[in-house]
Structure 1
Amino acid sequence: MTNFRAYLPHIRALLTLGLPLIGSHVAQFAITLTDTIMLGWYDVTALAAQVLAGGFFFIIFITGSGFAWAVTPLVAEAEARGDTTQARRATRMALWLVGLYTVVMLPLMYFSQAIFLAIGQTEEVARQAGLYLAIAGLGLLPANIVMVFKSFLSALERTRIILWVTLAAVVANAGMNYLLIFGHLGLPEMGIRGAAVASVGTQIVSALLMIAYIQRRLPEHTMFQRFWRPDWEAFGRVFALGVPIGLTTLAEVGLFSGSSVMMGWLGEIPLAAHGIALQITSLTFMVHIGLSNAATVRAGRAMGARDWDSLRDGGLAAFALSLVAVVVTIVVLLTLPGPLIGLFLDPADPERGAVIALGIGMLAAAALFQLVDAAQVMAVGILRGVQETRVPMVIATISYWAIGMPVAYLLGFPLGLNGVGVWLGLATGLACAALALNWLFWRRTYPRLRASGC
């Protein structure tokens, strides 16, 4: 066994890359968190509608982001070989793909109210969620453009600019929310529609800042010269890598969004409690997402350099850092659940106590799956770095939809555990994914790469 000193360079590299990425993910999450907190203070029904609509938007957005995430391993590998041209080609075609994806997906946003009613949501929640998405859908393209450039810059190990742009977006979103949700400074009180307008404005600002940085600081990549010229070879590579990534993410995110639908069957208060608990656990998960992104870059560069020892040691270092974050998270969730949930609710709201009581049980269940959730996302990050995406897609689909979702329904409804039962089902699906994905990398993919040398 290599001694601890051998891992220190990998730990330093992961932290150098990962800390700004963690910060940017937390900041990005803060945009959604701001919507949740402000709408929770505005009206509980608006909060429930935003939980539902936000989950719907996120499913569509994150599936299309598979094309953006494909950029990271492709650019990281190309940069390790000194092939700037290939890095540029992959990024351009990713922009093409997210543009085409947006055109296909936009109609779903405008017919969302009918979809929500068809899956059993209350009429008022469905109406408000539809109002939100009719506006928020306009932000799908700039949001995915931002994701492409984040992946590109991450692969180049320029992660600080990602953090600064995202922090600027947080400030812009909070300011616009304050003005438009509540109608301050003479502006109309728009409620949930104001939150949607603020989100679209924030996404546009973020995209423009990313473009300005790349044009000014990375002119050698000539990202936008002859942009409309097709490059079908690069298009095919990004598509082949990005579709499985998007579907893998869809399987996991769909599990959590499906749980929101089930919570809607239980009523507005359980749905609101679920939304708050999900916001809290998602915030802690940003640490693991950032580390996973850094692991993808490091694995991609090791792949390009054919440095298999670095691939192994970097992977172990990433898991160790993630484990430290898991321990801290479990302690916080088990010792401070009530105060955390209370931050999202108006102290004068008569339903505050009921929401907090339900949310505490959900956070206790969430503490159970912290380890397996972290383990699965770290394995996914490393597998993406070595461009292994198809088998993880199959594993995710089976784990989350053939196991996790049925268990969540069984525990939540026939067995009568309600919201806590749904969350225990989530934990079951994540545990299955964690075990299978880690087996895939450590027992199959890594030994194969090392043996073949390619």
Structure 2
Amino acid sequence: HLMRSIISSEVVFSATMQYLDYRIYGLFFSFVAVMFRAFYVGITRTKILTVNALVMAIANIVFNYMFIFGKWGCPQMGIAGAALGSVLAEALSLFFFIIYTICKADIHKYAFFETIHVDVKVIARILNISVWTMLQSFLPIITWFFFFISIEHLGERPLAISNIVRSISTLFFMPVNAFAVTASSLVSNAIGAGKLEEVMPISRRIIGLCYMIVIPMMALVYLIPAPVLRIYTDSASLLQDCIPALYVMLGYYFIAVPGSVWFNTMSGTGNTRSALLAELVTAVAYTLAIYFLIFRLRPNIASCWIVEYVYWGVLLLFSFIYLKKADWWNKKI
């Protein structure tokens, strides 16, 4: 009923429901897998996350190929097959985490199989920090959803272009997010060790390293966009229509890198309420930008992606001011 009320195209609505009917089951595996990821980030053994990501990516490709196209005796399910393939890949990823943890992690040191005793005080302390992080994580997802709903109201072709550009953007966001999460973990460790003076140098070094990865990727896609876009479409006209939006998307990563790293640095200081406030202010600015630019002006699809500059620009500014001006070094948890 929710999808029906916000999606205008019958074709898009039908495809969405086919996908969600299977995809929703992936949450059961994701909930547990996310806890394993947090555990390995927390103990700074992040190499296993890369291996697990490769396992899940390869499984996703294989399962999607099997169920989308009906290969190797599997039913041809189309977009529903993409959802089922992703669910199976997540299940395999979780199974990998469980086996690796039992075989390689110090399960006694981290009390994996000890009886859990409910301690209300500990739970309250955890929630006092994490509830703001939960809300903070929810805001960018819901605003991103609002952006694509807005694009869908412009027509099926603008939505197709935006989905292709979004998919390519994800390739850039993965290293950016990985460096940003690493910044949060290293900053937390530095503060826990009493080395407050290392917080800003750590974040600056991580920004530099991230640029070293992202800028060559950006230059490659900028110089030869057509081969990259052909991964997603064989339509020459759709390919040409994607290029302007692709160029706009590439540009905002110049501010997304420091914005993401500094924002996660702010979260790493333990002041999750300030991080939530930053995300809230950013979400409001982003939503207003979407409303006025897309709903009111209804520009071409490339111009619609300018709203991403608003999002990352506001987040970057808020995070920078916090780290420079706020009394975060006296934060006690």
TM-score, length basis structure 1:
0.69
Displacement of 1:272 in angstroms is: 1.2
Matched, 1:132 2:15: no
Displacement of 1:310 in angstroms is: 2.1
User: Which digits, 9 at most, give the CA deviation of each residue in 1:370-393, with x for residues without a partner?
Assistant: 122112210122122221211121
Asked whether the 8 Å contact 1:256–1:426 carries over to 2, the reply is no
Matched, 1:383 2:266: yes
1:441 to 305, 323, 331: 323
User: Which digits, 9 at most, give the CA deviation of each residue in 1:393-442, with x for residues without a partner?
Assistant: 12212222x22222233223433423223211121122011111111122
Secondary structure at the aligned position of 1:210 is classed as: helix
Q: Distance in 1 between matches of 2:120 and 2:174?
A: 34
Cross-structure match for 2:249: 366
- Equivalence map 1:98-177=2 (5 Å): 114-177=1-64
Q: Distance in 2 between matches of 1:230 and 1:393?
A: 27
Q: Distance in 1 between matches of 2:224 and 2:128?
A: 44
Cross-structure match for 1:188: 75
Asked whether the 8 Å contact 1:409–1:422 carries over to 2, the reply is no
Cross-structure match for 1:288: 176
Displacement of 1:116 in angstroms is: 1.8
- Equivalence map 1:11-410=2 (5 Å): 114-217=1-104, 218-220=106-108, 221-227=110-116, 229-345=117-233, 347=234, 352-400=235-283, 402-410=284-292
Q: Distance in 2 between matches of 1:420 and 1:219?
A: 51
The structure whose residues are more often helix, as a share, is 1
1:356 counterpart letter in structure 2: L
Asked whether the 8 Å contact 1:409–1:425 carries over to 2, the reply is no
Q: Distance in 1 between matches of 2:302 and 2:130?
A: 34
Q: Distance in 2 between matches of 1:367 and 1:164?
A: 27
Q: Distance in 1 between matches of 2:290 and 2:141?
A: 14
Secondary structure at the aligned position of 2:305 is classed as: helix
Displacement of 1:453 in angstroms is: 9.2
Displacement of 1:263 in angstroms is: 1.4
Q: Which runs of 5+ in 2 are unaligned?
A: none
Say how many residue pairs are matched. 331
Q: Hey, which bits of structure 1, 4+ residues long, moved more than 6 A?
A: none
Distance 1:246 1:121, change over 3 A: farther
Asked whether the 8 Å contact 2:285–2:310 carries over to 1, the reply is yes
Q: Distance in 2 between matches of 1:172 and 1:182?
A: 15
Displacement of 1:329 in angstroms is: 4.1
Q: Which runs of 5+ in 1 are unaligned?
A: 1-113
Q: Distance in 1 between matches of 2:140 and 2:75?
A: 38
Q: Distance in 2 between matches of 1:381 and 1:277?
A: 25
Distance 1:427 1:312, change over 3 A: closer
1:440 counterpart letter in structure 2: Y
2:77 counterpart letter in structure 1: M
Displacement of 1:284 in angstroms is: 0.7
Displacement of 1:243 in angstroms is: 2.3
1:444 counterpart letter in structure 2: A
Asked whether the 8 Å contact 1:376–1:437 carries over to 2, the reply is yes
- Equivalence map 1:423-434=2 (5 Å): 423-434=305-316
Asked whether the 8 Å contact 1:380–1:437 carries over to 2, the reply is yes
Q: Distance in 2 between matches of 1:150 and 1:205?
A: 14
Asked whether the 8 Å contact 2:263–2:316 carries over to 1, the reply is no
2:155 counterpart letter in structure 1: G
Asked whether the 8 Å contact 2:179–2:210 carries over to 1, the reply is yes
Asked whether the 8 Å contact 1:306–1:453 carries over to 2, the reply is no
Cross-structure match for 1:41: none
1:290 counterpart letter in structure 2: A
Q: Distance in 2 between matches of 1:453 and 1:142?
A: 34
Q: Distance in 2 between matches of 1:292 and 1:216?
A: 29
Asked whether the 8 Å contact 2:282–2:315 carries over to 1, the reply is yes
Q: Distance in 1 between matches of 2:114 and 2:8?
A: 48
Q: Distance in 2 between matches of 1:325 and 1:161?
A: 20
Aligned residues: percent identity?
21
Secondary structure at the aligned position of 2:153 is classed as: helix
User: Which digits, 9 at most, give the CA deviation of each residue in 1:234-293, with x for residues without a partner?
Assistant: 322332322222322322233322211111112222111101101111211111111111
Secondary structure at the aligned position of 2:72 is classed as: coil
Greater RCO between the two (CA within 8 Å, min separation 6)?
A: 1
Q: Distance in 2 between matches of 1:257 and 1:128?
A: 16
Asked whether the 8 Å contact 2:4–2:13 carries over to 1, the reply is yes
